[in-house]
Amino acid sequence: MKKDTIIKRLKRQLTRLQEADDEHLMRVKLEMNAEKEEVVSSSEEDKAPSGSES
């Protein structure tokens, strides 16, 4: 195989890996944001009953 062919193939693989990695990172960020929102909403729910009791 020619050197050029190998280089092109490796570059293509690298691009594919980078795209997959970007998608994964976006998914992780979305999950982290969703978890943060759940924590915020649950802590707000905790405050509501204590405020209404007094």
Q: Which pTM was predicted?
A: 0.55
Question: What is the sign, positive or negative, of the torsion defined by CA atoms of 35, 37, 39, 45?
Answer: negative
pLDDT at 54: 46
pLDDT at 18: 97
Q: What DSSP state is assigned to residue 1?
A: -
pLDDT at 37: 86
Distance in angstroms (rounded) separating the CA atoms of residues 7 and 1: 10
Residue-wise pLDDT tens digits, 2-48: 999 999 999 999 999 999 999 999 999 999 999 888 888 887 776 65
Distance in angstroms (rounded) separating the CA atoms of residues 33 and 38: 9
